[in-house]
Structure 1
Amino acid sequence: MADSRRPVWASPTIFVLLVAMPILEVWVLLQVGRAIGGLPTIAILVLEAVLGAWLMRREGARTITALKQTLRAGRMPTSELSDAVLVLVGGLLLMLPGFVTDVGGFVLLLPWTRPLARRLLDRWAAAKLERQGIAMDLLRARTDPRMTIDGEVIPGHVVDAEESTHARNASTGEGSRRDDGPEPPAISGTVL
């Protein structure tokens, strides 16, 4: 049974990409092969795969280092996680034979083009979360260090309104009389 939450366009788009991308890759390979010859075309593909593996390893190590530093600093590693996903997908695209996927892989792997891809990924993820009913402004407020208030935490506990009213009435001898209904919960503890 199909998932009713899946967009109507998702299956046809995936099907077209799975069919169209290999056809496009073969067509581009044939055009390049006709222009420069078969052996140079194969050499370029092998060179791109080796360069892609090296670049993925280097950028992956940088991303992991940045992720660890962000976690040590106690911040939410949103951009670092996005970078990790982009580096993984970019490296995978570079491992596939073909020039079209290599262009996409380089866009995701190169440090000066990845911020654009990260912004697009972030917008897509935010739109998807908002469609699910998750308010992105609240998430940003919780994870943004500029949105926290520095101060001292004072230990205490919340006292139930019923308990608070009964305790006060018992101390004043009023019994269980209520004038205005239940009072809001009280906080007990040391106030500085």
Structure 2
Amino acid sequence: MRKIVFGFLGYVLLELALLIVVGKLIGVLPTLLLVVATSVLGIYVVKNKGMNSVRSVKQALENREAPGTAMVDTMLNFSGGFLLALPGFLTDVLGVLLLMPISRKLFQPIVYYWMRKKMKHNQVIIVQK
């Protein structure tokens, strides 16, 4: 629990320091506009790209194909858009990396590993209607 609290506190302080440094470099108003613009972009990405990813998962299921890759892409797209919507430059950088197809390939094995680990320990619940 302490690690989580100190990790979150460190993250917040680092984001705040970055905002101050960028504010001094380019000015307060451009910094605020940049934060607002990336938040709006993140919301747009979650809404549009996320829905397209969900459609690709549905299409894979309708074609009786394993939706593994489509599900991972959907998760990474949603996570990237969500991180862009959060204020701060660290989250923006990570969000952009999750959205770019080239760098997304680097994150896919991590997600697959995490999913396999959850399934191995019976921490995944599949609901069937």
Q: For the superposition of Structure 1 and Structure 2, which TM-score range results when normalised by the shorter chain?
A: 0.7 to 0.9
Q: 2:50 matched to which residue of 1?
A: 60
> Per-residue displacement from partner, 1:68-126 (whole Å, max 9, x unpaired)?
21001112211222222222222221111110011111122233322321221112322
1:48 deviates by 1.1
Structure number with greater Rg is: 1
- 1:1-192 to structure 2, matched below 5 A, reads 11-130=1-120, 132=121
Letter in 2 for 1:54: Y
Contact kept in structure 1, 2:42 and 2:84, CA below 8 Å: yes
Partners in 2 of 1:38 and 1:19 — Cα distance? 24
Pairwise CA RMSD of aligned residues?
A: 1.9
Task: Pick 1 or 2: higher relative contact order, CA cutoff 8 A, min separation 6.
Answer: 2
**Alpha carbons of structure 1 residues 13 and 86: separation in structure 2 relative to 1, 3 Å:** farther
Letter in 1 for 2:86: L
Structure 1 length normalisation: TM-score? Answer: 0.57
Looking at secondary structure, tell me which structure has more strand per residue. Answer: 1
* % identity of equivalent residues: 34
Q: 1:188 matched to which residue of 2?
A: none
Looking at secondary structure, tell me which structure has more helix per residue. Answer: 2
Partners in 2 of 1:120 and 1:103 — Cα distance? 18
Contact kept in structure 2, 1:52 and 1:106, CA below 8 Å: no
Structure 2 length normalisation: TM-score? Answer: 0.81
**Alpha carbons of structure 1 residues 106 and 13: separation in structure 2 relative to 1, 3 Å:** farther
Partners in 2 of 1:112 and 1:57 — Cα distance? 22
Q: 1:171 matched to which residue of 2?
A: none
Partners in 1 of 2:79 and 2:7 — Cα distance? 16
Partners in 2 of 1:114 and 1:103 — Cα distance? 13
